[in-house]
Amino acid sequence: MRNKTYVPAWLLACLGLTASAFSQTGQRPLTNNDLVDMVKNHLAESVIVSAIQSSPTQFNTTTSELIRLKKLGVTDNEMNAMLAASSKAPSSSAGAAATPDNAGGTASQATATVPVSKSRMPKVYVQQGAAMQLLPLEKTQLAETKTKPSSMRSLAGDSAVSQAMTTGIGTATYGAAARMNSGIGGSTMQGAGTILSGMMTHRKPTVTYVWGVPGPASGNVLQTVSPAFTVDFSRVPTVNAADYEPAIVKLTPAQNTCRIVGATEGKEDARSSPAADWQIYSKFLEERVPVKSEKLEVGKYKIAPSSELFPGEYALVLRPVSKTKPFSGGDVARAQGDGLMFDALWTFKITDSAE
């Protein structure tokens, strides 16, 4: 039998504090397999999310790995917490200098370090406290209408546009047409809400192309009226990053079904043509928000609104530096190359309670 040794209470307390500090600093980071183990052992979603938020992490957030986790039962909320944890990085020193703008503010409020990503797709991060949160890349949907692009309000009241955004038939149909390089023209398709027609062998009528995003509201809710973003589109394949710059636009809700980004007129077969001769942006209708922008290097920017945003729906978009830059209609219809750049957006909502 072991002899009992008396240990003073104060020494036990010190040992306890030391052990506690050691266990906290030496805690092994949570990994994808830890997440799967918690799910398989039927831990509540709230418990798993809390564990992710309160622990050091070392997650693999590649597309293939996220798909694998989804198949293994990891919920969307758990994966969102996982992505948020992966985006966290130590903030820069408190004394870091900011770049002033003409109004006496800063070109960007973003001070946290942007995580390094191997992806070549364009990326947008929004500052959330001391961390940078990656916003999901979305793509606009195209619809056609005979309504002239005189105002966003007139387009928002066009049932053809809202129905096309809701059904998605317009984009799918024209995507197929673009692959076949077919001409598409003018009668209204019942139920799809987009303008379709037979083959045209002579003059092509002019229609209005509308860029929009389905759904009445963004899932990215920000609680600040002065969001700051970091944008990186420096490595997108087949694209000259110097041709683009980021912008913020206000979205126009349409009949509680979609949000309109902008519109322009074009020939009825414009988005089925592979030729790079469509100057989409030369007369593009959109509601741009004044911004303070800081170019870090080619394809990398910090950007923030020049003044506080009113509650509503917004998006960060990529726009050509030259309004006369030509696009291939086929690339726009399929969201590839330069078409991807113009179709890409990152939506967010400013709430009534945002400060």
Strands 258-267 and 141-145: unpaired
Q: Which residues of the chain have pLDDT under 50?
A: 1-8, 10-25, 89-110, 169-202
What pLDDT, on a 0 to 100 scale, did the predictor assign at position 91?
37
What pLDDT, on a 0 to 100 scale, did the predictor assign at position 297?
94
Angle among Cα 60, 341, 332 to the nearest 5 degrees reads 120
Closest CA to 289 of 226, 219, 209: 226
Tokens of 185: 């023209």
What pLDDT, on a 0 to 100 scale, did the predictor assign at position 224?
94
What pLDDT, on a 0 to 100 scale, did the predictor assign at position 271?
83
Tens of pLDDT, residues 153-193:
888 888 778 777 776 644 433 343 333 333 333 333 333 33
What pLDDT, on a 0 to 100 scale, did the predictor assign at position 93?
33
- CB–CB of 278/332 below 8 Å? yes
What pLDDT, on a 0 to 100 scale, did the predictor assign at position 244?
97
What pLDDT, on a 0 to 100 scale, did the predictor assign at position 309?
97
Question: Which residue type, as a one-letter code, is found at position 156?
Answer: A
Question: Which residue type, as a one-letter code, is found at position 23?
Answer: S
Tens of pLDDT, residues 192-227:
334 333 444 446 789 999 999 999 899 999 999 999
What pLDDT, on a 0 to 100 scale, did the predictor assign at position 181?
38
Using CA atoms of 270, 273, 274, 278 in order, give the dihedral in degrees to the nearest 10.
-20
What pLDDT, on a 0 to 100 scale, did the predictor assign at position 117?
67
Tokens of 73: 């039962």
What pLDDT, on a 0 to 100 scale, did the predictor assign at position 17?
40
What pLDDT, on a 0 to 100 scale, did the predictor assign at position 241?
96
What pLDDT, on a 0 to 100 scale, did the predictor assign at position 23?
40
What pLDDT, on a 0 to 100 scale, did the predictor assign at position 352?
93
- Give, for 199, the enclosing helix (H) or strand (E): none
Give dist(CA 324, CA 327) in Å, integer: 9
Give dist(CA 226, CA 222) in Å, integer: 9
Domain ranges in the chain are 27-87, 138-350
Give dist(CA 158, CA 144) in Å, integer: 10
